């Protein structure tokens, strides 16, 4: 579908903000109103659409904030319990709990980068996860898994859209929650999630295919982190 509109904008509504194309409120793929809770998020989504070149094809991969908002409305609102479970299940196999046994430099890097995040989760949520070496499955304490599930469930539908994406991309509910809580920046989250891959690049050099994949992961993490921040940002007129 090619660009079919001339201007974008936002408009306050009773429960949030509409994004406008030529003065008309946008709808999601499921034909629901694209209503977001903060003005800054609405303006960021409008800016995405405004930056689509004239007569260019509209590619959803270039509209990450729009995609996350629409998913929150169309999917999460109707399947909230399932999305919570699909996100929280990563507490049982979190990336940060599986450590290398060698080489020593990788072992140290994982410990120095990942252990502080696990310590943060233990302090923040009372979720003390168990760490293992190698690839053998580690059984996590039921109370820790339950605490992380409760932390996930505390998020709004729209925030869950981004939190699920972050968790899936990073392979870590701890990294995702740390981003949502602004304990980690998007860049720090990327480096923690892709620590092993970045270590291998340092040792053996870049591979074009791997680099392209990492760039895609970085963009997805950046988008989810920005989306979560804009959801909480009530500047410029607040929440409606």
Is residue 119 a contact partner of residue 112, using CB atoms and an 8 Å limit? Answer: no
Q: Which backbone phi and psi does 49 adopt, to 5 degrees?
A: -70, -35
**Domains, the chain, with CATH or none:** 8-76 (3.30.2180.10), 80-232 (1.10.3580.10)
Q: pLDDT for 190-234, tens place per residue?
A: 999 999 999 999 999 988 898 999 999 999 999 999 999 999 875
pLDDT of residue 234: 55
Q: Which backbone phi and psi does 11 adopt, to 5 degrees?
A: -150, 130
Report residue 57's pLDDT band, with 50, 70 and 90 as the boundaries.
Answer: confident
Bond before 103 cis per omega within 30 degrees: yes
> pTM of the full predicted structure?
0.93
For residues 90-103, average pLDDT: 97
Taking residue 231's Cβ as centre, other Cβ atoms within 10 Å add up to: 23
Is residue 168 a contact partner of residue 185, using CB atoms and an 8 Å limit? Answer: no
Q: pLDDT for 130-168, tens place per residue?
A: 999 988 899 999 999 999 999 999 999 999 999 999 999
Give the single-character DSSP code of 73: I
Q: pLDDT for 23-34, tens place per residue?
A: 999 999 999 999
Say what the alpha-carbon torsion angle 10, 219, 174, 140 is, to the nearest 10 degrees: 130
The length of the chain in residues reads 240
Task: Calculate the average pLDDT of the chain.
Answer: 94
């Amino acid at each position: 579908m090619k660009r079919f509109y001339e201007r974008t904008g936002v408009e306050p509504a009773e429960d949030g903000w509409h994004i406008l194309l030529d003065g008309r409120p946008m709808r999601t793929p499921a034909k629901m109103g694209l209503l977001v809770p903060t003005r800054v998020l609405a303006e960021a989504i409008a800016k995405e659409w405004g930056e689509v070149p004239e007569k260019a094809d509209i590619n959803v991969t270039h509209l990450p904030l729009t995609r996350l908002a629409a998913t929150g409305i169309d999917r999460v609102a109707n399947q909230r319990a399932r999305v919570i479970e699909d996100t929280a299940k990563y507490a049982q196999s979190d990336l940060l709990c599986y450590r290398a046994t060698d080489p020593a430099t990788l072992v140290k890097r994982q410990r120095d980068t990942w252990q502080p995040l696990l310590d943060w989760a233990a302090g923040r949520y009372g979720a003390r996860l168990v760490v293992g070496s190698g690839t053998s499955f580690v059984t996590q304490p039921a109370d820790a898994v339950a605490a992380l599930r409760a932390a996930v469930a505390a998020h709004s539908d729209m925030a869950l859209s981004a939190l699920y994406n972050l968790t899936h991309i990073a392979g870590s509910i701890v990294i995702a929650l740390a981003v949502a809580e602004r304990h980690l920046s998007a860049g720090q989250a990327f480096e923690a999630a892709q620590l092993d891959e970045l270590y291998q690049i340092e040792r053996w050099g870049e591979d074009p295919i791997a680099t392209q994949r990492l760039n895609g992961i970085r963009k997805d993490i950046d988008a989810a982190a920005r989306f979560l921040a804009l959801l909480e940002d009530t500047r410029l007129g607040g929440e409606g």
